[in-house]
Structure 1
């Protein structure tokens, strides 16, 4: 049996970390939904920058828009919004079957708004209205301003994917902001059942940076921790998820119909060739989680992935390794702040390139 299908049955959702008009027009996304059980899609500025550069299906629309629209950002949105809408429509059956638990497509606000909460809120509301699909998630980076916007948008009933999280501290702050937003929504008498949020924790970039630092430390302890940082972070984040969303803090909100904020494993393509090409899938299989996967990693798991519930294994070892990293001078929360700044720059640069080609 297809390992991806078995994975679906484990309680973890598999989303595709890619979107282009080629995937839509040539039936690739529909095939992934039907054959592999793909039940969501994530996009970002890098994905759309690549799509606009490589897919021939944008050429006619691009020529028309360049002749009629002077604003590059408006041209960009006019190109990508139909793709988001089409993907939402393909995934609507999954959304309906799961009663709003699954079947979402993510669209990111401009990364240049990452430190402006008011502008982020306005952009999120505008994109939500423009796309006009019930299974849309607006992506917002988990900066300080992003969390302010996130909380207010949850109160307003906007479903959100908080992105560019790299550490346990960042993730817990997102969970707390979600709960504050829900409480404010409940206090104003609004329905909690139609609000969805996920927290996207990026993995491979954590290992890349921490491994580089470990390589400069000449000790057996440092070498033993190589390739562990991302899995440590993910496992401990899932423990906090369980504590918060299956504990007293969330109980009254759950009773009122609120959904827990699932963790979404992002950046799951293996960057280090010394590691398994399915490392960030096999080691992080657990219920009430999502893994968004690039095409090559999806194909690798389909070919040789093994499925067992691994996310709650070796928690004590993860806690010990977290402390061990601190003892040799590596604070994963500080690493997370560095990576968030770097990630914002990467997405901003990709967004600017996408605008330049729009």
Structure 2
């Protein structure tokens, strides 16, 4: 069996962390769906910046934009949203066959709205209506304002991909926002059985940030704390979305648990395995969104096995050891989120300049 497709046997979906017009029109996206069992796609400002700067198909598309369309963000959306729609259409058969469990495509609100809850909700509603596909997810960052927007956006019946999560603190805040959105929708008498959301926890950046802080005496922790944090988050997920316990009332209304999604799973440290952040995080009811190079690497030599919850006690022990060394994972997460926002803002500015 295809090594990537084999991951599905353990209940995890693999999404591609990439999107461009070339990927769609060349037939490559459909090939990944057919051969690898690809179950979704994510995009962000950095991905579209690369696509629009490097994919020659956008040259003619930019030239064909109406001259009266002068607002840079409107010009970007005029280029990107048809690609989002086309990708949604490519995944629609999978979305329908899985009864809404798989086949999603994500598009992010402007990074400039990261601390503007009302602006984020307005943008999410506008994008949802414009894209007009049941299998699109609107990406919203897990900032304080973002969490308020997540609740309101879900209450409006819109699928949400929560992005830029780095810590247990972020996981708790986002789970709270998700449940609050569902409860608000139920209270208003609206259905929740069609809603789908993922909570995107960024992995590799945690090790990239923490590894240099670890003393030589704790070298054994290097390259392990990001995975340990994710494994701990999975235990929290089980407790929060127990359909026979804490989540039962909403589950009885048809609501689905919010899925954890592992993001930033390309290996940045060349000393580590190039499939480290895929191979160690495979488990039921989760998603891993991987860059193309990581997908190819796993297809070549990855090993699919249920690893995510193989040893939760060991994961917690690693986190405890880090705390004894003064490593505050929640504080690290706050720094990484701010850095991530700045990177997306920079990428978005460069993207708007290009269009």
Q: TM-score range by the shorter chain?
A: over 0.9
Q: How big is the alpha-carbon RMSD for the aligned residues of Structure 1 and Structure 2?
A: 0.9
CA distance in 2: counterparts of 1:52 and 1:227, whole angstroms? 33
1:243-267 deviations in Å (ceiling 9; x for gaps): 1111522111001100100000000
Q: Mapping of 1:173-188 within 5 angstroms?
A: 173-188=173-188
Secondary structure at 1:67 match in 2: coil
Deviations 1:117-175 (A, max 9, x none): 00000000000011000000000000000000000111111110000000011011101
1:12-65: CA deviation from partner (whole Å, max 9, x where unpaired)? 000000000110111110110111000100000000000000001111220122
Distance 2:191 2:67 in 1: 44
What residue in structure 2 maps to residue 293 of structure 1? 290
Q: Matches of 2:181 and 2:75 in 1, distance apart?
A: 33
Measured after TM superposition, the shift of residue 66 of structure 1 is 6.3
Q: Residue 168 of structure 1 corresponds to which residue in structure 2?
A: 168
**Partners in 2 of 1:199 and 1:290 — Cα distance?**
9
Q: Secondary structure at the match of 1:284?
A: coil
Aligned to 1:51: 51
Q: Which residue of 2 aligns with 1:226?
A: 222
* 1:186-226 per-position Cα deviation (integer Å, ceiling 9, x unaligned): 11111010111100000000010010111xx24x2x21211
Partner of 2:333: 336
Residue in 2 that maps onto 1:78: 78
Query: How many positions carry a matched residue from both structures?
Result: 354
SS in 1 for 2:120: helix
Give the aligned partner of residue 96 of structure 2: 96
Q: For residue 13 of structure 1, what is the aligned residue in structure 2?
A: 13
Q: Which moved more, 1:124-133 or 1:60-69?
A: 60-69
Residue in structure 2 matching 1:243, options 227, 236, 239: 239
Distance 2:33 2:118 in 1: 36
Q: Distance in 2 between matches of 1:9 and 1:223?
A: 34
* Cα distance in 2, alignment partners of residues 321 and 280 from structure 1: 17
**Mean Cα deviation higher: 96-105 or 61-70:** 61-70
In the alignment, what sits opposite 2:262? 265
| 1:253 corresponds to | 250
Shift of 1:318: 1.0
Matches of 2:220 and 2:297, distance apart in 1: 27
In structure 1, the residue matched to 2:23 is 23
CA distance in 1, matches of 2:140, 2:162: 5
Residue of structure 1 in register with 2:274 after alignment: 277
TM-score scaled by structure 1? 0.98
State the match for 2:197 in structure 1.
197
1:356 and 2:353 aligned:
yes
* Structure-2 separation of matches of 1:311 and 1:86: 33
Q: Flag as ranges the 4+ runs of structure 1 deviating above 4 A.
A: none
1:132 equivalenced with 2:129 (yes/no): no
- Residue 155 of structure 1 is matched in structure 2 by 155
Q: Which runs of 5+ in 1 are unaligned?
A: none
Inter-partner Cα distance in structure 1 for 2:78 and 2:229? 38
Per the alignment, residue 113 of structure 2 pairs with 113
Which consecutive unaligned segments of at least 5 residues does structure 2 have?
A: none
Instruction: Tell me which moved more, 236-245 or 55-64.
Output: 55-64
Distance 2:111 2:261 in 1: 19
Worse overlay, 185-194 or 247-256? 247-256
Question: 2 CA distance for matches of 1:336 and 1:96?
Answer: 36
